[in-house]
Amino acid sequence: MATDVAVRGRGARARWRLWALLPLVLLVGAVSLYAATASSLTGLLGSSPPPADEFDIRRVEFEPGKITIRVTNPQADDLTIASVTVDDAIVPFRLDGPGTLGRLRSSAILVDYDWVEDEPITVGVTSSTGIETAREIPAAFETPAASPRSFLGYGIIGFLVGIVPVALGLLWLPSLRRARPEWLAAFMALTGGLLAFLGLEALSEALSLQAALPGPLGGAGLVLLGVAISYLALTIISTRLGAAEVERGGLVSGVALATLVATGIGLHNLGEGLAIGSSFALGELALGTFLIVGFMVHNVTEGLGIAAPAAEGSGRVGPGRLVALTLIAGAPAILGAWVGGFITSDLLGVVFFAAAAGAALEIVVEVGRYVARRAPGGLTSPYVLGGFFGGIVVMYVTGIFAG
Amino acid sequence: MAKSKFSRRRLLAGAVPLVAAGPLAKLAFAEGSQPEQLPSHAGRGHAALGHASMVGAEVPAPGGPNDLDRLLEPPAALSHQPGRVREYKLVAYDREIEIAKGVYFPAWTYNGTVPGPVIRATEDDLLRVEFVNGSTHPHTIHFHGIHPANMDGVFEVVVPGASFTYEFPARPYGMHLYHCHSTPLKKHIHKGLYGAFIIDPPKPRNPAQELVLVMNGFDTDGDGGNNFYTVNGLAFYYAKYPIVVKRSQTVRIYLANLTEFDLINSFHLHGEFFRYYPTGSSDQFEYTDTVMLCQGERGIVEIDFHNTGLFMFHAHQSEFTELGWMGFFSVVD
């Protein structure tokens, strides 16, 4: 009897599983039906508007006597490269790739051109329908080729703006260890404010970058995707870390929380490295001494943010662990600088900054939970409130000075 | 990516790290001030750069060798016979035409080309132009010259499918033009409804190799500015196929400016001077190598070449030149 029920239960389950497939099968049917009759439907509504026919100019590279323009077709309809202009003058060109681009297909346009160093230059690509997509380069200069030297150069930039300041900030750890609990809570809250600022900044950056992307590739949803993925990924990590510390109420704390903070900061530095690398490669950023120094000094706060939760932990934090934290938070800047310097993709920039935003916001939540439960006086203690606002204000004020 | 993203990412006040950052800042200075990527010069020495790459078969121009002959070479002038009837038929229809290499423009045309066909008569001929509107918009033909008010192409709008016959004595002699005068005027002109209209004087002009050059532009992206400039409708066409002329013979160019959006256009000849007769309506001329024409302005250019070889002609607005309005005379013995 029991066996019978089980068998019947299995049979019924199988049937319901099949039933679950039914909507998919019907959807395929409906889509095919629509595809077969779509033209008559649009006939009812009137003709559809023409495609935008704009190219996505991904990258413009300069070599002596030569300009290379890399374009992608971002739209569903085919797009043909018909005419190329440099500074509003039609120029002969060669193609490395197809002349008519299918959806998301790319080509490189090669132009022999005696460009003028350090002067602005505008390249335009015109489709067979006469629509021109132009891209202005603020200053033309020879694009660094992917050589061991430039690889090293971008690596050093990433090292200077990522690893060095984080390592310096972590030197606050011994002082923080000796701080009173209220003050430690204040610094934890400062970390929260700092990350809230970085998260919002990254989110705004991701949103403005996606707005500049060609329509089909962009979209605020893309940002949400990046934010959600990193937020959820960090939630899973923090849950795992928290589970290992059940005796402390499942809260992530100490070195574990510091690791989490380092991960979030690392994601942010990945985006930052990407932005620096690509801006430099595209001639949009004068890589001045002041800028690098500014980044270094500014990013020291990130080290402080990691040091605060680490200081709170009970166990001793060994040098190996400190090095690991530094690498987690700082090394992504090197990776980002390489990617930005040699690949350059605004699409990648959107994803990186969105991921950074999601991570930062998750860690703000995590730090908030921690402070709420563990800090003397909880979330409303003047130390915590002051620390949080202090974190934001410090970021804002230094931003004004740097601006 | 914008520079602004870096504005808030700098400089946190903090005594201990600042001290520690000092020596490292030096390192940053050394790295930042001597990027190995900066070239000392932008590179030169390419053989196919500049104008050398813009003559002959390599030029990115649409069309085949003789495609523009009908627009370049006007019908022959006829002798003075007052009252003789000269008949033309113009059909307006919409047509996508290739105006620059690989670039297609949804034009409104008279008889399928932009500019439309050359209309020629001798002074005191009775001109009879049958106009059929095979297009999707109302059009007219507005001729420059002297004619009755009801033949002016302003009030007698011809709707799609309808036709109208313009009839008036051709006068005064000179280089004129015709174009659609439906509203919106800018749209109807820049889409391509215009052409050259020559009235010969009673006393025939001296024999010459006669050419028609209609300067125009094309706004392919609809932003109210031209993307391409041409003479006779095809960008860089006469750079790819230079106009062959004889040194021993006068070259007479009927020149008109039908460029929309830009206030003026110009004609400049290299290595030579020419006689320019404004509107071609008198014997008064200027001896020059550059003339400037307002929208709708036109005249006659007469060149007696002193030398053989390739001589460039183009708009002296460099922008127009580099967007298609450039060509060559190949002067031979």
The two most distant CA atoms of chain B are separated, in Å, by 103
Q: How far apart are CA A324 and CA A334, in angstroms?
A: 15
Does position B291 have pLDDT exceeding 60, yes or no? yes
The SS3 of residue B198 is strand
Nearest to A349 by CA among A291, A277, A292: A277
Cβ–Cβ gap A153/B36 under 8 Å: yes
Nearest residue on chain A to B22, judged by CA atoms?
Answer: A293
Low-confidence ranges of chain A (pLDDT < 50): 1, 287-288, 402-403
| CATH number for position B92 | 2.60.40.420
Residue B28 lies in a domain: no
**Residue carrying structure tokens 């089909």:** A216
Query: Which of B28, B41, B101 is closest, CB to CB, to A83?
Result: B101
The SS3 of residue A320 is helix
pLDDT at B18: 36
What is the total residue count of chain B? 333
Cβ–Cβ gap B12/A293 under 8 Å: no
pLDDT at A247: 56
Query: Which of A80, A92, A276 is closest, CB to CB, to B60?
Result: A92
Please check whether residue B215 is in contact with residue B286, taking contact to mean a CB–CB distance below 8 angstroms. no
Does the reported pTM lie above 0.80?
Answer: no
pLDDT tens digit sequence for B71-122: 999 999 999 999 999 999 999 999 999 999 999 999 999 999 999 999 999 9
Query: Which of A149, A282, A287 is closest, CB to CB, to B32?
Result: A287
A303 to chain B, closest Cα gap in Å: 10
Q: How far apart are CA B214 and CA B116, in angstroms?
A: 10
Q: What's the ipTM? A: 0.76
Task: Identify which has the larger pLDDT, A172 or B33.
Answer: A172
The dotted CATH code for A56-137 is 2.60.40.10
pLDDT at A23: 85
Q: Which domain holds residue B203?
A: 56-332
pLDDT tens digit sequence for A293-307: 666 766 777 787 788
Q: How far apart are CA B152 and CA B144, in angstroms?
A: 8
Does position B33 have pLDDT exceeding 60, yes or no? no
Residue B27 lies in a domain: no
- What the block records as the tokens of A249 is 């109420």
Query: Which of B17, B103, B322 is closest, CB to CB, to A297?
Result: B17
Asked if B54 has any chain A CB less than 8 Å from its own CB, the reply is yes
Does position B16 have pLDDT exceeding 70, yes or no? no
Give contacts of B12 with chain A, Cβ < 8 Å: 297-298, 300-301, 394-395, 398
Cβ–Cβ gap B10/A208 under 8 Å: no
pLDDT tens digit sequence for B293-315: 999 999 999 999 999 999 999 99
* Count of domains for chain B: 1
A276 to chain B, closest Cα gap in Å: 9
Question: Phi and psi for B306 in degrees, rounded to 5?
Answer: -90, -25
pLDDT at A131: 92
Neighbours of B130 (CB within 10 A): 14
Does position B179 have pLDDT exceeding 90, yes or no? yes
What is the total residue count of chain A? 403
Asked if B6 has any chain A CB less than 8 Å from its own CB, the reply is yes
pLDDT at A198: 78
Give contacts of A140 with chain B, Cβ < 8 Å: 42
Give contacts of B190 with chain A, Cβ < 8 Å: none
Does position B211 have pLDDT exceeding 80, yes or no? yes
Neighbours of B46 (CB within 10 A): 15
pLDDT at B41: 38
Mean pLDDT taken over chain B: 86
Q: What percent of chain B shows pLDDT beyond 70?
A: 84
Q: How far apart are CA B247 and CA B330, in angstroms?
A: 10
- Give the residues across from B178 on adjacent strands: B143, B195
pLDDT at B86: 96
Q: How far apart are CA A119 and CA A131, in angstroms?
A: 26
Asked if B57 has any chain A CB less than 8 Å from its own CB, the reply is no
Q: How far apart are CA B297 and CA A261, in angstroms?
A: 72
Report the residue of A58, A86, A90, A343 to disrupt the B interface, i.e. the one with the largest count of B CBs within 10 Å: A90
Q: How far apart are CA A366 and CA A292, in angstroms?
A: 31
Asked if B218 has any chain A CB less than 8 Å from its own CB, the reply is yes
Query: Which of B18, B35, B220 is closest, CB to CB, to A297?
Result: B18
Q: How far apart are CA B179 and CA B197, in angstroms?
A: 10
